[in-house]
A and B are shown apart, each in its own frame.
Chain A
Amino acid sequence: MARHAGPLLEMNGITKRFPGVLALDRVDLAVRRGEVHLLLGENGAGKSTLMKILSGACQKDEGDIFLDGRPIEIRSPFHARTLGISMIYQELNLVPNLTVAENIFLGREPSRGGFVLRRRMEGDARRLLRRMQADIAPDALAKDLPVAQQQLVEICRALSLDSKVIVMDEPTSPLTERETTALFRLIRSLKASGVSVIYITHRLEEARLVGDTVTVLRDGRRVGGAPARSLSNERLVRMMVGRTLSQVFPALGRPRPGAVLDVKGLARAGVFGPVSFSLAPGEILGVAGLIGSGRTELARSLIGADPRTAGTIAIGGRAVRIASPRDARRAGLCLLPEDRKAQGLVLGLPVVQNVSLASLERLSRFGFLRLGAERREVQGLVDRLRIRTPSLEQLVRNLSGGNQQKVVLARWLAVEPRILIFDEPTRGIDVGARFEVYKLITALARQGVGIVLVSSDLLEVLGLSHRVAVMRGGRIAAILPRKSANPERVMRLAMGLTREGVRKGHGPSRSAPDGAART
């Protein structure tokens, strides 16, 4: 078959309307054969909608799609696959109780007379896995595999379909550092065999490591595209959020002398540590690191949500015993958990009850709630944080992601903490709300609250922190002052690469634990 000379895949003028929203506005995308094409953008920029159209999960309203120069209409996910377009979603889609081989050939098992030819199927699966240099047994059950290997199985499935285009939606978010490097290696080999990869991400620093070409979306429009190497972070951020970095991140105040938090030798055997650091009042300490590096686990152990096996914590110079989140709260140490819906909010309760949840002791007398005082206080916080809600009785379920995050924040402001730990404070919230959260974080620091900012958004960590602690393999690999922290240096430390690109030995590396694998 003669190869078309132009791009392998072209999407021209794609428009998609949802009730009340123009999700995509005449978006163009051109992907060459054998390239890794980065699709960058904030939440709500339209990346997912565009890819859903490409994978047949949703239908475009206008525009044309060409594959190998021929116009195509993609009618369903099944149809997309037969055309050679496969999508690997963030939430992996394996059937847990089937084997690897059964998953790869699900629905098209090699068979004769209605009976599955198991041996042939496993042989085919083994060949595919070998091509990927994946050390996975074809007869292993999918549910027994770590997330990274499940992802590999999905990629094998895509390859078994002779896919020409494989779309990966934030593929590294559940992966540990070792798995991330392995995935990048795999993507390069896919490329070498002529497969095109569309790679959706909002992490600039990792994009640069694998990408050839970049397309940036914002508010449903294509705002630009260029070879990956030619774009600076500054430029990419400007394209993604429509502002310069200095407009994104508010100016930092100056930390005060002394230490509000002193952590020595904190560890949870087999999970993280030992970790030591101290935090000044008014200081923002960023914590960077890949999934599985122990960031979230450290945060949870600090407030007593998970057990710890060693270490001491001092607050304001006095040693404190923290065995539960209740102890931590009483000592003035609070956590905004990474998964707002699963760990932060009670979605079925109104705003007022969510905000007052951690202050019930103070807001009651002899066990009876002072309802008036509660409402006044919550109203004050709602105004101060500009939480957009029709009333205090509105169920939190009905608020937007950004406003939900502010509700959790309001709950902790109500207890007037001395130290506030933010775990992924801007995950899944839109650009405008992000800026507001940044402003709130810096304003809190100016008031003297010590802040630990855990985030997988490297620019966020670098833009908001006085110092950056980089975690790897459960330990702090380095704490960099603001001046000497740049994305490349932090990324290398996080992945354990020296300047020459050789891996240093490092501590226990584990597959992503349950808590961290969620995105």
Chain B
Amino acid sequence: MRRELGAAWALLGLVVLLSAATRAFGGGDFLSVGNLTNILAQVCVTAVLAAGASFVIFGGGIDLSIGSLLAVSAALAAGALKADWPVPLACAAGVLTGAAFGAANGVLVAWLGLPPFIATLGMMGIARGCTYVYLGGAPLFSFPASFRLLSEGRLAGIPAPVIVMGAVFGLGSLILARTRFGRAVYALGGNEEAARLSGIPVRRLKASLYVAGGAAAGLAGILLAARLDSAEPQAGDGYELDAIAAVVMGGASLSGGVGTIGGSLVGALIMGVVRNGLNLLNVSSHWQKVAIGGIILAAVLFDVMRRRRQS
């Protein structure tokens, strides 16, 4: 419980720090409602990816393919839109594409026994390649206005992607904390053999985690396509690492069994806040990469040291 609280304190500290810095160096008003909403909207894609990655990581796995699954899902949804499919159907096609690739990951890991790192590394290449093949190397763009509502629409002043993100995290949190499935996920991640001997169907469970991760990637792909009004073959390149970093900063253990999905959201927000703040401060994107990397290291190092002190 205390671990994701630590992440929340870090987030708060960064917010205070960055608002003071922007005020001092004249980078605009970091704390304005407009800017905070902006941060939330920017962080949605990474956060939804991280929600899916949370399931996989809590269950003791890892999924490197989600950035590519995002791209292939977005491409297929875009293709469907261009073929004049109704918007909801096209979105469903995108999410299902992600889920299907995720199911392939699940079969490779759970039934064929490949290490998750390798299986999803392979799938990362396959899905990215499929995206290029399908799109012929060129982006699809200019979607119907009703699709772009997913990016530009607002409900009670809240941007649509933020609502989607909220729904994903609400649902994820409910599943992990309150359902039999969620319990089994933590048991699987904590000790697979104990879970199996207790009669939990570990293969099916494991595979379903990758399906969840893939579906979340599909959804993230749709959000991204709506925001850019374009599905690009290189979309989401490297996003898997942002998502994994968010989960880890949120207090999860990469060996599984530990973490909360709320923590992953905080982790994603930390990265979003830092990016936004540095943008306002006119720090070059090159230096931003350095800063984000450093923050990931600091967050995990802090956690490692605290645990060492406890034991």
Binding site for B on A (CB under 8 A): 303, 305, 324-326, 328-330, 335, 337, 342-349, 353, 356-358, 360-361, 363-364, 367-369, 371, 411
Contact = CB atoms under 8 A, between A and B. Distances in A.
Contact of B180 (A328, A337, A347, A369): A369
A389 B181 CA distance: 26
B194 A345 contact: yes
A357 B200 contact: yes
B186 interface: yes
Q: Which of B183, B195, B198 has the most CB of A within 10 A?
A: B198
Given A348-B257, A357-B198, A369-B183, 20 more contacts: A324-B196, A324-B199, A325-B196, A325-B198, A325-B199, A337-B194, A342-B191, A344-B194, A345-B194, A346-B186, A346-B187, A348-B190, A348-B258, A349-B190, A353-B187, A357-B187, A357-B195, A363-B180, A368-B179, A369-B178
Nearest to B179: A367
Nearest to B181: A367
Given A325-B199, A343-B197, A349 B179 contact: no
Interface of B: 178-181, 183-184, 186-187, 190-191, 193-201, 253, 257-258
A343 B194 CA distance: 4
B197 A346 contact: no
A516 to B, nearest CB: 15
B183 A357 contact: yes
B227 to A, nearest CB: 34
A444 to B, nearest CB: 19
B5 to A, nearest CB: 16
Closest 5 CB pairs of A and B: A346-B190, A329-B199, A326-B199, A358-B198, A364-B180
Contacts of B178: 368-369, 371
A324 B201 contact: yes
Contacts of A330: 199
A464 B244 CA distance: 52
Contacts, number: 81
Nearest to A397: B311
A395 B51 CA distance: 25
Given A305-B196, A343-B197, A349-B257, A369 B179 contact: yes
23 contacts: A303-B197, A305-B197, A325-B196, A325-B197, A326-B200, A329-B199, A342-B191, A343-B191, A344-B194, A345-B194, A346-B187, A346-B257, A348-B190, A348-B257, A348-B258, A357-B187, A358-B199, A360-B184, A367-B180, A369-B179, A369-B180, A371-B178, A411-B198
A346 B199 contact: no
Given A360-B184, A361-B180, A347 B196 contact: no
Contacts of B197: 303, 305, 325, 335, 337, 343-344
A360 to B, nearest CB: 4
A70 B302 CA distance: 52
B190 A347 contact: yes
A81 to B, nearest CB: 31
A349 to B, nearest CB: 5
Determine chain B's interface SS by DSSP, over half rule. Answer: helix
Contacts of A342: 191, 193-194
A364 B184 CA distance: 12
A180 to B, nearest CB: 28
Contact of B183 (A325, A337, A360): A360
Main secondary structure of the interface of A (DSSP, over half): mixed
B179 A346 contact: no
A32 B201 CA distance: 57
A345 B200 CA distance: 14
B84 to A, nearest CB: 38
Nearest to A361: B180
A411 B195 CA distance: 12
B180 A353 contact: no
A159 B273 CA distance: 65
Contacts of A353: 183, 186-187
Contacts of B186: 346, 349, 353
Contacts of A344: 194, 197
B199 A364 contact: no
Nearest to B177: A369
A461 to B, nearest CB: 22
A72 B196 CA distance: 52
A272 B195 CA distance: 25
Nearest to A342: B193
A442 to B, nearest CB: 24
Contacts of A368: 178-180
B201 A360 contact: no
Contacts of B180: 360-361, 363-364, 367-369
Contacts of A357: 183, 187, 194-195, 198, 200
A342 B257 CA distance: 14
Q: Which of A328, A342, A345, A360 counts the most B-chain CB atoms under 10 A from its CB?
A: A360
A456 B257 CA distance: 32
A349 B187 contact: yes
A503 B236 CA distance: 69
Could you say which of A335, A343, A353 has the most chain B C-beta atoms within 10 Å of its C-beta?
A343
A335 B180 CA distance: 22
Nearest to A327: B199
Nearest to B1: A393
Interface centre among B181, B186, B187 (most CB of A within 10 A): B187
A305 B195 CA distance: 11
B170 to A, nearest CB: 15
A364 B179 contact: yes
Nearest to B182: A369
A329 to B, nearest CB: 4
Contacts of B199: 324-326, 328-330, 358
Contacts of A325: 196-199
B208 to A, nearest CB: 13
A356 B183 CA distance: 10
Contacts of B195: 346, 357
A433 B198 CA distance: 23
Contacts of A324: 196, 199, 201
A342 B184 CA distance: 17
Contacts of B196: 305, 324-325
A348 B178 CA distance: 18
A346 B191 CA distance: 5
